[in-house]
Chain A
Amino acid sequence: MQTIKTIFFKELKRILSDKRMILSLYILPLFMWAIIFTASVFFLSVNEKDQKAHKAVVTIYNAPESFKHFLEEKVASDNEEKTNLTNTELDYKIGNEITEAEDQSIKDKQLDLVVVFEEEFDSKVALSYSEGEIISDIIDIPGIKLYYNPSSDYSSNAYTNLAGIIDDYRKECQKERFGSVDVARVFSVESETIKDENKANGEMLGMALPYMITILLFAGVMSLGIDMIAGEKERGTLAPLLLAPINRTHIIIAKMAALLVLSFLSAMVYILSILLALPVIIGIYLNNPDLVDSAKTTNEISVSGSIHFEGWQVLSVALIIIVMLLLYVALVNLIAVFSKNVREGSNYVTPLYMLVMISGMSTIYGSPNVNEVIYFIPFYGGLIAMKNILGQNISTFSIVASIGVHLILGISAIIIAARAFSSPKVLDKI
């Protein structure tokens, strides 16, 4: 036990007193999400300012007087936040079709938008309706064509702005014709969501957490674990340890325990970093009412409610993280035992990491109602269990099954690694 303790603390000291390691393993990840989201907000606002500063160049063919008048009124009462109309260069022309030069200009991003009204638009609109009967079967409804370049942000914005105005103009025409836009409505649809706010928020976190843990956490274990054994072999620093009269199983156990503790700390840092980033994420939505609106209508994101977890959820997730880490650490160390150097170890461990990554990705989507057999699958079952614990869609049996499978396999891998560490085949590589 004294041997395990001595090696364990030496391994911890090796990492925890290395400033660069601390920075890359714990400090940077702690602020990572907050930095990422703050940077997104920054670039978003830079882009927004740029869009506002840009003078949109728009050509309108055959603009009917009624539209010109409507547009002037819009410009006069322009809400800059939405349409940016005051900063638009309008060019009214007469003609049936966009010219080749204009087509090229849109491609070259010199011209942002071309709007072509059908000739005699106003009169055709008037002709297409006679009170009490529909004449649209006989006379074509006049059309408006919009030409823009979706690969240009300026062009896309000009299109969105003008399309919005044209829609308002259409409603205005309908209003003039029928007295109210609602006359044309056959029925109305109202949808109301019924959900447990806490459960939904948990499900949202359950969608992100397993994925983030697999991507970030296991990458750390991979490099640290390979270095602890294969790296030491390569540097020749493992041999002095093997020359000491100590049980080799103790060496493996001590190294794995140290790696497990360091990785668990890392996991906690990642979870803390998500919590640190939450105010920034909420800030993004509060400062951006459009996003909040769209979030509410599509039910994709909810920032209104707080997330509250029960004790059993926290405990179960922590246990699953620990046993999954145990299995991963054991497998990485097992691979490291058989590897001559870090490069060889990294090559061998890549398929395992890919397997874990695919498991992580597959948990982003998919129904929470899964067959209980899935919880017996290493890694994937654990991640699904984590997801469903947060979404409160799991039985106690499934949690126990998932923890048990990882624990048994982890311990088995430790025993195999310890035995391999004493075998002549492995010793010949040191």
Chain B
Amino acid sequence: MIEVSHITKIYKVEKKDRKKDKKAEKVAVKDLSFTANNGEIFCLLGPNGAGKTTTLRCIATLLRQTEGSITVEGFDTVKDADDVRRNIAFLTNEIKLDDFFTPDYLFDYFGKLRGIEKSVLAERKKELFSYLGINEFADKRIKELSTGMKQKTAIAVSLVHDPKVVIFDEPTNGLDIITARLVTDYLKKLRDDGKVVIVSTHIMSEAERLGDRVAFIINGGCAFCGEFSEIYEQTGTDNLEDAFFAMYKEITEGAENADH
């Protein structure tokens, strides 16, 4: 289980990056809270720059939140960072695999770093490579692979240690329809295995098809967190896209009125 409790993340803006408003700080996430349970796919939805990736990076221990706390399987992301890392898989488009190496080498490399026994590692490789269809290009260098092949490899490598929590940021971004389906099906399998799966996406149809619960992240805060039926009811809509727009409009107009 993941519990995000009132987190705020403030970045310091370097002088050279400051724009007209000359603000020395940027609030990326503000007082955000949600819970993702085992055996469910939890979708984070929001426009670009809403704070989705920052939130996921905080959960993955790549960033430290300025305020609030996050626990992953009962471990605090700041105090027990290594325990959190043992339990999660984190995948984002910004995280890449070294172009120079092969999927085969990188799988073993990260397996070794995570202290996985050779026999277990071989078994995991067999399972993941065969499910994701990596065997045919396992000995090719990453730089020779297509976007889909790279994504499949990144998924396999991130899951090398069979984690309890899987966090995928835009997992089907840039993938063809067949590979995208393969990935979403695998996420469902992980959920069915009892893992916590958090997926960040801006494709509403994908979230609708895949997710069990959803959170809308708008302007760094959580605008809604719950089941799909709840948001439809709350916004008086019957699909996620309309529901999202209704909520987005309400919040942005509310903010503008408050400014005036």
Contacts and interface: CB of A to CB of B under 8 A. Distances in A.
A302 B83 CA distance: 66
A6 B100 contact: no
Given A18-B100, A237-B98, A428-B11, A243 B157 contact: no
Nearest to B11: A428
Contacts of A240: 95, 97, 110, 157-158
A237 B96 contact: yes
Given A2-B115, A7-B113, A243 B98 contact: no
A209 B112 CA distance: 42
Given A242-B62, A243-B62, A236 B100 contact: no
B152 interface: no
A6 B62 CA distance: 22
A199 B107 CA distance: 56
B240 to A, nearest CB: 30
B11 A236 contact: no
B62 A244 contact: no
Nearest to A430: B62
Contact of B98 (A2, A14, A242, A424): A14
Interface in A1-33: 2-3, 6-7, 10, 14, 18
Nearest to A239: B95
Interface residues of A, number: 23
A428 B113 contact: no
Contact of A245 (B83, B100, B109): B83
A140 to B, nearest CB: 75
A427 B63 contact: yes
B29 to A, nearest CB: 13
Contacts of B11: 428
B85 A236 contact: no
A315 B90 CA distance: 48
A246 interface: yes
Contacts of A239: 62, 94-95
Nearest to A236: B96
B30 interface: no
A10 B109 contact: yes
Contacts, number: 60
Contacts of A2: 112, 115
A239 B169 CA distance: 14
Nearest to A251: B113
A245 B110 contact: no
A278 B159 CA distance: 56
Interface in B14-43: none
A195 B99 CA distance: 58
A291 interface: no
A236 B62 CA distance: 12
Interface in A321-342: none
Given A424-B64, A428-B11, A245 B96 contact: no
B113 A235 contact: no
A245 B95 contact: no
Contacts of B97: 237, 240
A236 B95 contact: yes
Given A237-B98, A427-B62, A245 B85 contact: yes
A6 B115 CA distance: 11
A246 B158 CA distance: 15
Nearest to B100: A14
A244 B96 contact: no
B113 to A, nearest CB: 5
A232 B12 CA distance: 22
B94 to A, nearest CB: 5
Contacts of B64: 424, 427
Interface string A386-430: 000000000000000000000000000000000000001001101
A246 B113 CA distance: 7
Nearest to B98: A237
B85 A243 contact: yes
A18 B114 CA distance: 26
Nearest to A17: B100
Contact of B113 (A3, A14, A18, A232): A3
B172 interface: no
B86 interface: yes
B206 interface: no
B22 to A, nearest CB: 20
Contacts of A237: 96-98
A243 B94 contact: no
B60 interface: yes
Contacts of B62: 239, 242-243, 427, 430
B200 interface: no
Contacts of A428: 11-12, 63
A169 B11 CA distance: 87
A236 B101 CA distance: 14
B230 interface: no
Contacts of A427: 62-64
A426 B200 CA distance: 25
Nearest to B64: A424
Interface in B241-255: none
Given A6-B112, A246-B113, A236 B63 contact: no
Contacts of A243: 60-62, 85, 88, 90, 95, 158
Nearest to B113: A244
Interface string B198-239: 000000000000000000000000000000000000000000
B114 to A, nearest CB: 6
12 contacts: A6-B113, A235-B98, A235-B99, A237-B98, A239-B94, A240-B110, A243-B61, A243-B158, A244-B110, A424-B64, A428-B12, A428-B63
Interface of B: 11-12, 60-64, 82-83, 85-86, 88, 90, 94-101, 109-110, 112-115, 157-158
Interface of A: 2-3, 6-7, 10, 14, 18, 232, 235-237, 239-246, 424, 427-428, 430
Q: Which 5 A-B pairs have the closest CB atoms?
A: A236-B96, A245-B85, A245-B82, A239-B95, A424-B64
